[in-house]
A = this chain, B = another copy of it.
Amino acid sequence: MAEAAGVSVSTVSHVVNNTGARIGQDARERVRRAIEDLGYRPNAMAKNLVKGASRFLGLVADAIASTPFAGQIIHGAQDEAWQHGYVLLVANTEGNQGAEASAISMMLEHKVRGILYSTWYHRAIDLPAGLAEADTVLVNCYSTGHPVPAVVPDESTGGRDATQMLVDQGHQRIAFLNTRTPSPARDGRLAGYRQALQSAGLPFDPSLVAEVQPDQEGGYAAVDHILATRATGVFCHNDRVAMGLYDGLRDRDLHVPTDVSVVGFDNQEVIAAHLHPTLSTVALPHYELGRRGVRVLLGLDVIERPGPLAVACPCVPRNSITRPSRV
């Protein structure tokens, strides 16, 4: 290459690796032409080895095969990583600890610049041992034991805004089908629900809150409870619960939203926009979590307050809410 360009090897290296060294325009041009003539492809591994650290970022994800959530985190992280010249090394663990340890070890061997560790649902984790050796950012999870930077969804503001969509249409008896799984989503969305009621001057009535299995079966099984509460609107812990509730209401010849208004959470692909009627919900910001995770890892965003960085969950209004037929 240097021979073809008629320049020194170190000049070629400076040009190819963009070191910022002062190389004359003429020499630069000759190197570029030689690169084209020779069909030269820079050897990324050789470049990395010389620099001591690679242009890799690692992303360890669980549940990539069973929900689109991990995919959205990967999508956001990759877009942001590529923008800054990094390649994302993705490893999928499906929750398996052995696979997780291998993935982290593989990433350290490849001298990643840092590792994003992500979970498909928002939860507290025990920090995997290998992560101590790398710059780490937790995505959609956090560690109580270690002060590791974390990026998570803002559950309470999301819960508040979901409830507010019902309040705005005049609902006063609003039930909440929460999950029975202890989690930041359970606590945060409940806090948001209470906050919205309080702002609207509505009393908090514990009998309006039930905890269910957080899927279609849980929503379906809760219909009789909902009818007994005489709620006119229901905030569901997630879109799957809302989908089950729809089915249960239909089996009793009741209609959404004329008989009962419903709001979900997640804006889950393949479901929320395709129910009859389409489901008003609040979006989990998985793409944004992946994107912000990379920005924190690269020092482009700084987490100023203690605790995880909370990312907003935007409202997605559709057709499952109307004014109550009775108050």
Q: State the A residues within 8 Å of B (CB).
A: 41-46, 48-49, 54, 64-68, 70-72, 74-75, 78, 82, 87-92, 94, 99, 102, 105-106, 108-111, 215-217, 220, 240, 243-244, 247, 250-251, 268-271, 274-276, 287
| Residues of chain B within 8 A of A270, CB atoms compared | 67, 240, 268, 270-271
Contact indicator B64/A269 (Cβ below 8 Å): no
Contact indicator A240/B72 (Cβ below 8 Å): no
Contact indicator B49/A46 (Cβ below 8 Å): yes
Closest to A72 in B: B65
Closest to A87 in B: B106
Q: Give the number of times this chain occurs in the complex, counting copies.
A: 2
Closest 8 CB pairs of A and B: A65-B75, A44-B109, A216-B274, A64-B71, A90-B90, A247-B276, A65-B71, A65-B72
Minimal beta-carbon separation of A53 from chain B (angstroms): 10
Using A49-B49, A64-B71, A78-B91 as known contacts, list a sample of 10 further A-B pairs with CB atoms less than 8 Å apart, ordered by residue number in A.
Answer: A42-B109, A65-B68, A65-B72, A67-B71, A67-B270, A68-B71, A74-B90, A87-B91, A88-B91, A247-B275
Contact indicator A89/B89 (Cβ below 8 Å): yes
Specify which of A108, A110, A111 lies most central, judged by the most chain B CB atoms within 10 Å of its CB: A110
Closest to A255 in B: B251
Closest to A90 in B: B90
| Residues of chain B within 8 A of A42, CB atoms compared | 109
A244 CA to B271 CA, complexed, in Å: 11
Contact indicator A274/B71 (Cβ below 8 Å): no
| Residues of chain B within 8 A of A78, CB atoms compared | 91-92
